Amino acid sequence: MQEAMSETLDQLRGSYDALNRRDIEGTVAVLDEEASWVEHSDLPEAGSYHGRAAIRTFLEQFLESWDQFEQQIEEVHEKDGCVLLFLRLNARGKGSGIEVESRYAHLWLMRAGHGVRVDAYYDRESALAAFRAARGG
Residues 19-28: tens digit of each pLDDT: 999 999 999 9
Digit-coded pLDDT (tens) for 59-70: 999 999 999 999
Say if CB 108 and CB 118 are below 8 A apart.
Answer: yes
Structural domain harbouring 55: 2-134
Q: How far is CA 84 from CA 62, 81, 89, 108, 136, in A?
A: 21, 10, 16, 6, 14
How many CB atoms are located within 10 Å of the residue 106 CB? Answer: 21
Query: How many domains in the chain?
Result: 1
Digit-coded pLDDT (tens) for 86-118: 999 999 999 999 999 999 999 999 999 999 999
- The CATH number that applies at residue 117 is 3.10.450.50
User: What is the band of 43 on the pLDDT scale with cuts at 50, 70, 90?
Assistant: low
